[in-house]
Structure 1
Amino acid sequence: MYSSCLRYLRGEMYMSFKMNTKISRFDKRLNILLMFLTPVLIVAAWQIASENGKINASVLPSPFTIGGTLAAMAQSGELFQHLSVSLLRVIKGYLLGCILGIIAGTLMGLIRKFESAMTLVFGIIRPIPIIAWVPILILWMGIDESSKVTVIAFGTFFPVMLNTVYGIQSTDKKYLEVAYSLEKSPVRILLRVIFPSALPAIFTGIRIGLGIAWMSVVGAELIAASSGIGYLISYAGQLSQPDVMLAGVISIGIVGLLLDILLRAVERLVLKWNITSK
């Protein structure tokens, strides 16, 4: 009797597992379908409205027109030239902002007095829009690369810093108690306990900072630059070329998406032990 009940329960558990697996696979395929289907429907509706004259082509060209412009600019190399300039600026400023943000966030997360000393300063500076710093930094540093890199680093700094502080201060106190009871050195506790616990939050700040870095470089190039994707958009606006402007905007979105996918892959690789990073 007992063995029969046990076999029955095992059978029910196995069938439930198979059913949940099938539902999970179905949901995954459905999500992928929806992910690609939604932009296709939007573009299709946009194209149909453009062909029927519902949208003014001089203000918003059709997707086919923008796609043709994008392909022509890519074929001529003009698009990649401007993108490479902006990308190099983003990498420089982004890395600088991440490094400074992690250092400042670590100090604020570990040293309460340092956090108290910097709270008011950062609280005043952080709400100021990045674009407001562009003319000031140009006045201080000139129109060369240093001002643009500083703007990007400035925009990247705060999300990385805030998430680093949150991650460090959210470290489970039980882990710290075990480490202290084992008489581990402060450096070892920082590297083996606090940082691994804070990494998910730090990666969240790094991903947010990447998006802000792109917005910062475009804002800086719109105001003062002779090259870069922001300059391309600004110059096309002066010439009343909406297809070129939108081609530049779309290229920013594509590059930003690819960089975010790459960063998420790195995050999954580094945090493969953490279920929340999946």
Structure 2
Amino acid sequence: MGACSSSRAGVGVNTRSGRTAEMPSTSAETSDHPPDKAPERTDGSPGMLSRALRSPLVLGALGVGMVIAVWQIACGLGLVAADSLPTPWTVALRIKDLAVSTDFQLQVLDTVWTWLLSMAVTIVIAVPLGILLGTVAALYRPTVTVVHALRSVPATVFIPASVLLFGLGLTMKLALTVFAIFGPVLLNAVYGVHNTEPQLLTVARSLRWSRLETLRRVVLPSALPSIVTGIRVASGIALIVIVSVELLGASYGIGTVIVQYQAIPRPDFVYAGVILAGVLGWLLYTTLAAVERRALPWTRRGADSGGRS
């Protein structure tokens, strides 16, 4: 008579051949199959709403809305004199007036043209020079020291001397702006080249690449994120310096319009000009960032994490 033995793993049964066949247990305790999963939610609305609320555009709009609300409350309660701070609606109307004004549009074009020229001149000179100075180890430390010392001097200090040398026109604004943004672009190029991974240079030497080929295939791709960061930082500094020079001593540009309305005085137009100058800066920076993402998509992460200003 066959003997049966039971266990948690199953039941053993003697067969005619003398071997024991294992019968799998049907108990839920010993089943190898996991229990059925609960049905997943297919409604993604809360997640989509949460992501939308965290988007930079929505957060920026909320921030602007809060500033306008506080502004309106301050005007409504009389916390600030009406001749010093007009209501948001009044400033909005003046923004419309300035935006459709041909004279103001020409002033904006003058500011933008100065910005473009200063960026172009600085990039053409500072980037190649930074690559050269970063490649020569003996020049690295003296360059960094001298540039940092010059950067500690505000560009606006040289406005009187620049007016005497170049007058009140484009050349004066261009010279001061290039002086202000030359340091960030040069330093980031030097840092990017100098901080190239030594292992990559060792591999290049083992492959017997020439100095020019190593520069093209190793050094420049490694330094590009830092160089792009320097250009992006310089773009914001350039507009700040240009508008500041126009406010303090120039004949054309957005800053001169603001000074003219301040002298009348028309605070509504003054605030409208300030807001439009801020919008211009945002547009220039956003355009530059979009060009960078499209032309150099692989540099964005490295630039955000390793760039210097």
In the superposition, the TM-score normalised over structure 2's length comes to 0.78
TM-aligned CA deviation for residue 25 of structure 1: 5.2
- For the aligned residue pairs, the C-alpha RMSD in angstroms reads 2.8
TM-aligned CA deviation for residue 204 of structure 1: 1.2
- The aligned counterpart of 2:54 is 31
TM-aligned CA deviation for residue 72 of structure 1: 0.7
- The aligned counterpart of 1:242 is 267
- The aligned counterpart of 2:284 is 259
Number of residue-to-residue matches in the alignment? 268
Contact 2:169 2:251 survives alignment (8 Å): no
Give the AA of the match of 1:127.
S
- The aligned counterpart of 1:186 is 211
TM-aligned CA deviation for residue 51 of structure 1: 2.7
Question: In structure 2, do the counterparts of structure 1 residues 110 and 22 end up closer, same or farther at CA, with 3 Å as the change threshold?
Answer: farther
TM-aligned CA deviation for residue 231 of structure 1: 0.8
Partners of 1:69 and 1:87 lie apart in 2 by: 21
Please say if 1:210 is aligned against 2:210.
Answer: no
Partners of 1:69 and 1:48 lie apart in 2 by: 20
Partners of 1:156 and 1:275 lie apart in 2 by: 21
- The aligned counterpart of 1:47 is 72
Flag structure 1 segments of 5+ consecutive residues without an equivalent.
none
Give the AA of the match of 2:133.
M
Contact 2:173 2:245 survives alignment (8 Å): yes
Contact 2:118 2:174 survives alignment (8 Å): yes
- The aligned counterpart of 2:20 is none
Contact 2:293 2:300 survives alignment (8 Å): no
| Paired residues for 1:196-207 under 5 Å | 196-207=221-232
Partners of 1:54 and 1:110 lie apart in 2 by: 58
- The aligned counterpart of 1:111 is 136
**What percentage of aligned pairs have identical amino acids?**
32
Match of 1:137 among 162, 168, 171: 162
Spell out, residue by residue over 1:145-191, the C-alpha distance to the aligned partner (whole angstroms, 9 max, x if none). 21211111111111111111222222222222222211222222212
Give the AA of the match of 1:165.
V
Spell out, residue by residue over 1:112-138, the C-alpha distance to the aligned partner (whole angstroms, 9 max, x if none). 222344344323311000101222222
Q: Secondary structure of the residue that 1:273 maps to in structure 2?
A: helix
Contact 1:105 1:162 survives alignment (8 Å): yes
- The aligned counterpart of 2:94 is 69
- Greater relative contact order (Cα < 8 A, sep 6+): 1
Match of 1:156 among 153, 168, 181: 181
Contact 2:224 2:299 survives alignment (8 Å): no
Match of 1:169 among 178, 194, 207: 194
Partners of 1:27 and 1:269 lie apart in 2 by: 27
> Normalized per residue, which structure has more strand?
2
Spell out, residue by residue over 1:57-101, the C-alpha distance to the aligned partner (whole angstroms, 9 max, x if none). 211112111111110111222321211111111111121122222
Contact 1:107 1:114 survives alignment (8 Å): no
TM-aligned CA deviation for residue 274 of structure 1: 4.4
Contact 1:97 1:152 survives alignment (8 Å): no
| Paired residues for 1:75-86 under 5 Å | 75-86=100-111
Question: In structure 2, do the counterparts of structure 1 residues 166 and 27 end up closer, same or farther at CA, with 3 Å as the change threshold?
Answer: farther
- The aligned counterpart of 1:96 is 121
In the superposition, the TM-score normalised over structure 1's length comes to 0.86
Partners of 1:92 and 1:101 lie apart in 2 by: 14
Give the AA of the match of 1:41.
M
Partners of 1:190 and 1:257 lie apart in 2 by: 35
> Normalized per residue, which structure has more helix?
1
- Bigger drift between 123-132 and 111-120 goes to 111-120
Contact 1:97 1:156 survives alignment (8 Å): yes
Give the AA of the match of 2:112.
L
